[in-house]
């Protein structure tokens, strides 16, 4: 039972006790109804208080229970709320910290609500691709008014209790307590005062009206707005329809309509993807063999080596979090350039009103520079972001080993080099870890934390916690070429090249993938990142892995100096100072000539084939990555792609998407692609893990 019951004087107190956030799972729901039965059967009890233990009143329905039989098992949340409403004795909710989703719906089923100041109040179901499914769309408009309720439900954003209490009178909250500490006592006092109210006089939110003076016109306007803002997501419009039902239908019919819409959304692929994302994001922060209580090192000061593209952005993350940073460079001019870029970035934010001048000043005051390694002797974490050459990294890490204090974490931002080799340049490989930020490092959410063979568990625990502090989504990767993200993108890029060989154009490929939902197709992305990066990798591969075949189109493009936006021309043409990709006749000619040289007769390729070949090339490499133990769970791979590579959020990442399509279907498509006469039988060999899961009828989990 995850709700506690006790009697204080003549008040029964039911305390939700399902850590971490009192999710309203089956056992908790049973705990509530059992408590209600006891309280109503006990003559000594005159009134009832419901509250939550720990750090929340309630975070809502238990998300972990979704999709299991327990989610719908009676008493479901709707039935619990009916039981509250039917109570013969007054019920007061004592609300503090967090009241969200089903938690708020539960509170709205109580007769009275006492709330602590500073409580986060929200119906955030829309963020999970859902709508409030236990009366929230019917009851919230009755206490807040239609417009405020609709805003809260469609945005899912939390509003502080004090703001709601001051703006919207006493219908949502009957009392604002003096503090979170006193809310329970004040609710008990409140319960004593209302004890003895006749059952028929107990106030129920369902009995209040839900009206809008210009209902149809308002909802038509709101629908247009919401539709425009949520084109790939069905939930926001359904939220609106449910709230509208509160104004056009009787209460119980509105509840039935809400349930119908909720059920539709629960079965939608978008909600499945968003729920997966919620869980995967939290799971990514946990490393299977690193216990939650692993001691962490204190990070009070950070050193950054290199003030280039990455060093500057990396530094800004720590400054934003209030952590002092000292940047080291080889020359003063390089430092000056780096600092000027940081200033420019912050000033742009100030100009746009996104950052206050005082905050900007505070952040810059935390930043210092040096040309001398000895000045980094007090740093708790030193992140290297110098040129991508092992020899340069060796010089840096050898010096760091000499000056860094014992216990300092030494991190490399390398994107391709072997972190174990870098660790071996020091006598303290246990302190060395990869921190692979993505460009622009002050903006991109993803941080791949690269775990070397000897990286200490406390180092990992520290870096994962620090990532949260600087608002990054950290995913642990083992050491391999490209880590998780770039190892997969290499296969995707190879496949994109083969598509050009066979008959597609860069714009057709980009359009197909962007229609699927990627922020950018592979060729526009190449132009943005610089086609020379891939060129360098392919040259290296020619000696290291001669068996790996590529289309020659990208090399031919680079031979023309078309590196992308930075050279004003790449797969596309660019007008000076502009980023719009203009189809290039030079490139089309280059591709056609290439096909002739190779004796390829081009064919028409469908958008569907393009998308499948590109996405499944990610999936197959993802399966290898799981098998090799580079990623510990498929959700981690999804997080990498969702936060670092522009994979559409509503599709949940490549591995989740493959699960939704069905791994059998994915494998069948791959077999079909392998029959392509241009395929040498290598690319589409299914990863053994994929084969195994298909044979067992399982999914990536
Ligand atoms: N059910 C189960 N577990 C939940 C949960 C929920 N509703 N909400 C959060 N948790 C868990 C998280 O999975 C995490 O677990 P972990 O420690 O094992 O990783 C833990 O609580 C802490 O979560 P956060 O890391 O997010 O902690 P924060 O303190 O930053 O935030 C929070 C707490 C504000 C409650 C945030 O977790 C949140 O926004 N949760 C989602 C709330 C939500 O969407 N509720 C609606 C659920 S759907 C619903 O109610 C349907 C109903 O209308 C029928
Ligand atoms: P950059 O060329 O913009 O900056 C490198 C800086 O390091 C230069 O300012 C240089 O003066 C300085 N430097 C070189 N050797 C040094 C030394 N011995 N001591 C002190 N400073 C030194 O390079 P960028 O793009 O910032 O890349 C840095 C690292 O980050 C590389 O390892 C790269 O692979 C990695 N990376 C780059 C990404 C990108 O998109 N640019 C993305 C993720 C990682």
What is the CA(438)–ligand 2 centre distance, in A? 12
Q: Which ligand is nearest to the CA of 414?
A: 2
Predicted local distance difference test score (pLDDT) of residue 166: 86
In a shared domain, residues 462 and 516? no
In a shared domain, residues 234 and 253? yes
In a shared domain, residues 440 and 563? no
Query: If you average pLDDT over every residue of the chain, what do you get?
Result: 96
Could you tell me if residue 279 is inside a domain?
no
In a shared domain, residues 439 and 503? no
Find out whether the beta carbon of 63 lies less than 6 Å from any atom of ligand 1.
Answer: yes
Could you tell me if residue 647 is inside a domain?
no
- Which of 477, 497, 520 is the last residue in one of the domains? 477
In a shared domain, residues 666 and 538? yes
Residue percentage of the chain with pLDDT more than 70? 100
The tokens for 566 are 């930075």
Is residue 77 scored above 70 in pLDDT? yes
Predicted local distance difference test score (pLDDT) of residue 67: 84
What is the CA(315)–ligand 2 centre distance, in A? 13
In a shared domain, residues 410 and 494? no
Q: Which ranges of 415-530 would DSSP assign to H, the alpha helix? A: 419-423, 457-469, 485-502, 506-516, 522-529
Could you tell me if residue 283 is inside a domain?
no
Find out whether the beta carbon of 59 lies less than 6 Å from any atom of ligand 1.
Answer: yes
Find out whether the beta carbon of 506 lies less than 6 Å from any atom of ligand 1.
Answer: no
Which of 304, 333, 338, 386 has most ligand 2 atoms within 8 Å of CB, for mutation?
386
Find out whether the beta carbon of 369 lies less than 6 Å from any atom of ligand 2.
Answer: no
In a shared domain, residues 430 and 551? no
Could you tell me if residue 19 is inside a domain?
yes
In a shared domain, residues 473 and 489? no
Q: Characterize the bridge pairing of strands 302-305 and 572-573.
A: unpaired
What gap in Å lies between CA 448 and CA 632, rounded to an integer? 13
What is the CA(344)–ligand 2 centre distance, in A? 19
| Terminal CA-CA length for the chain | 29
Domain encompassing residue 450: 302-477
pLDDT, tens digit (0-9, with 9 covering 90-100), for 94-149 = 999 999 999 999 999 999 999 999 999 999 999 999 999 999 999 999 999 999 99
Predicted local distance difference test score (pLDDT) of residue 546: 80
Q: Are 76 and 122 in contact (CB under 8 A)?
A: no
For the domain that residue 684 is a member of, what is the CATH number? 1.10.1040.50
Q: Which ligand is nearest to the CA of 387?
A: 2
In a shared domain, residues 177 and 235? yes
Which of 23, 52, 59 has most ligand 1 atoms within 8 Å of CB, for mutation?
59
The catalytic residue among 105, 257, 258, 384 is 105
In a shared domain, residues 390 and 418? yes
In a shared domain, residues 375 and 508? no
Could you tell me if residue 418 is inside a domain?
yes
Average pLDDT score over residue span 310-334: 98
Q: Which ligand is nearest to the CA of 446?
A: 2
pTM assigned to the model: 0.94
Which of 303, 304, 306, 314 has most ligand 2 atoms within 8 Å of CB, for mutation?
306
| Atom 35 in ligand 2: residue holding the nearest Cα | 414
**Residue 125 known to be catalytic:** yes
Phi and psi of 565, rounded to 5°? Answer: -55, -35
**Residue 598 known to be catalytic:** no
pLDDT-derived band at 169 (thresholds 50, 70, 90) equals low
- Which of 419, 451, 477 is the last residue in one of the domains? 477
pLDDT, tens digit (0-9, with 9 covering 90-100), for 240-272 = 999 999 999 999 999 999 999 999 999 999 999
Find out whether the beta carbon of 21 lies less than 6 Å from any atom of ligand 2.
Answer: no
Phi and psi of 241, rounded to 5°? Answer: -60, -40
Count: domains in the chain:
3
For the domain that residue 56 is a member of, what is the CATH number? 3.90.226.10
Could you tell me if residue 67 is inside a domain?
yes
Total length of the chain: 701
Say which DSSP state 62 is in.
Answer: -
Could you tell me if residue 616 is inside a domain?
yes
Is residue 42 scored above 70 in pLDDT? yes
In a shared domain, residues 117 and 80? yes
- Which of 246, 266, 286 is the last residue in one of the domains? 266
Could you tell me if residue 610 is inside a domain?
yes
Q: Who's near 209: CB < 8 A, 6+ residues apart?
A: 142
Q: Who's near 320: CB < 8 A, 6+ residues apart?
A: 363, 442, 470, 471
pLDDT-derived band at 168 (thresholds 50, 70, 90) equals low
């Amino acid at each position: 039972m995850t709700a506690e019951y006790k009697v204080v004087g003549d008040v029964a107190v039911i305390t939700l006790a399902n850590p971490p956030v009192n999710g309203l799972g089956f056992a908790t729901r049973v705990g509530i109804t059992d408590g209600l039965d006891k309280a109503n059967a006990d003559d000594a009890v005159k009134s009832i208080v419901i509250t939550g233990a720990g750090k929340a009143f309630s975070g809502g329905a238990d998300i972990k229970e979704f999709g299991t039989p327990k989610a719908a098992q009676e008493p479901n949340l709707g039935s619990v709320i009916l039981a509250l409403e039917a109570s013969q004795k007054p019920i007061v909710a004592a609300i503090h910290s967090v009241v969200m989703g089903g938690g708020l719906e539960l509170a709205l089923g109580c007769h009275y609500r006492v709330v602590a100041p500073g409580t986060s109040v929200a119906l955030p179901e829309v963020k999970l691709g859902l709508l409030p499914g236990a009366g929230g769309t019917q009851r919230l408009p009755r206490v807040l008014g239609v417009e405020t309720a609709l805003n809260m439900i469609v945005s899912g954003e939390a509003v502080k209790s004090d703001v709601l209490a001051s703006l919207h009178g006493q219908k949502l909250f009957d009392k604002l307590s003096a503090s979170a500490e006193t809310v329970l006592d004040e609710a008990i006092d409140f319960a004593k005062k209302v004890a003895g109210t006749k059952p028929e006089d107990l106030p129920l939110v369902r009995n209040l009206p839900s009206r809008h003076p210009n209902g149809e016109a308002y909802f038509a306007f709101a629908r247009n707005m919401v539709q425009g803002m949520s084109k790939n997501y069905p939930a926001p419009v359904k939220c609106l329809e449910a709230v509208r039902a509160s104004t056009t239908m009787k209460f119980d019919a509105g509840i039935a309509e809400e349930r119908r819409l909720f059920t539709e959304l629960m079965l939608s692929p978008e909600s499945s993807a968003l729920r997966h994302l919620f869980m995967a994001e939290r799971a990514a922060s946990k490393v299977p063999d690193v216990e939650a209580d692993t001691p962490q090192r204190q990070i009070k000061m950070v050193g950054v080596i290199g003030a280039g593209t990455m060093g500057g952005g990396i530094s800004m993350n720590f400054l934003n979090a209030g952590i002092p940073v000292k940047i080291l460079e080889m020359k003063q001019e390089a430092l000056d350039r780096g600092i000027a870029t940081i200033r420019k970035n912050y000033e742009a934010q100030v100009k746009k009103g996104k950052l206050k001048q005082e905050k900007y000043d505070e952040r810059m005051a935390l930043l210092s520079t040096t040309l001398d390694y000895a000045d980094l002797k007090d740093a708790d974490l030193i992140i290297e972001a110098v040129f991508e050459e092992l020899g340069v990294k060796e010089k840096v890490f050898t010096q760091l080993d000499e000056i860094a204090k014992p216990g300092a974490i030494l991190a490399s931002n390398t994107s391709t080099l072997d972190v174990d080799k870098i660790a071996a340049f020091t006598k303290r490989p246990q302190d060395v870890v990869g921190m692979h930020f993505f460009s622009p490092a002050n903006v991109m959410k993803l941080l791949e934390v690269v775990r070397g063979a000897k990286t200490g568990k406390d180092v990992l625990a520290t870096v994962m916690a620090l990532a949260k502090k600087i608002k990054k989504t950290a995913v642990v990767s083992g050491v391999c070429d490209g880590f998780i993200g770039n190892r997969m993108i290499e296969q995707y890029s190879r496949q994109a090249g083969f598509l050009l060989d066979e008959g597609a154009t860069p714009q057709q490929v980009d359009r197909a993938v962007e229609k699927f939902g990627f922020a950018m197709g592979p060729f526009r992305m190449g132009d943005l990142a610089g086609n020379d990066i891939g060129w360098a990798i392919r040259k290296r591969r020619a000696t290291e892995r001669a068996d790996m075949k590529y289309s020659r189109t990208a090399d031919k493009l680079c031979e023309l100096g078309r590196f992308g936006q930075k050279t004003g021309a790449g797969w596309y043409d660019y007008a000076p100072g502009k980023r719009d990709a203009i189809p290039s006749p030079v490139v089309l000619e280059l591709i056609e000539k290439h096909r002739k040289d190779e004796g390829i007769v081009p064919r028409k390729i469908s958008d569907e084939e393009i998308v499948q070949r590109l996405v499944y090339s990610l999936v197959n490499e993802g399966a290898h990555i799981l098998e090799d133990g580079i990623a510990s769970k498929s959700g981690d791979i999804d997080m990498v792609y969702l936060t670092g590579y522009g994979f559409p959020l509503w599709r949940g990442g490549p591995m989740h998407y493959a699960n939704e399509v069905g791994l059998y279907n994915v494998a069948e498509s791959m077999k079909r692609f392998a029959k392509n006469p241009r395929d040498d039988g290598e690319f589409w060999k299914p990863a053994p893990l994929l084969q195994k899961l298909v044979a067992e009828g399982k999914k990536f989990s």
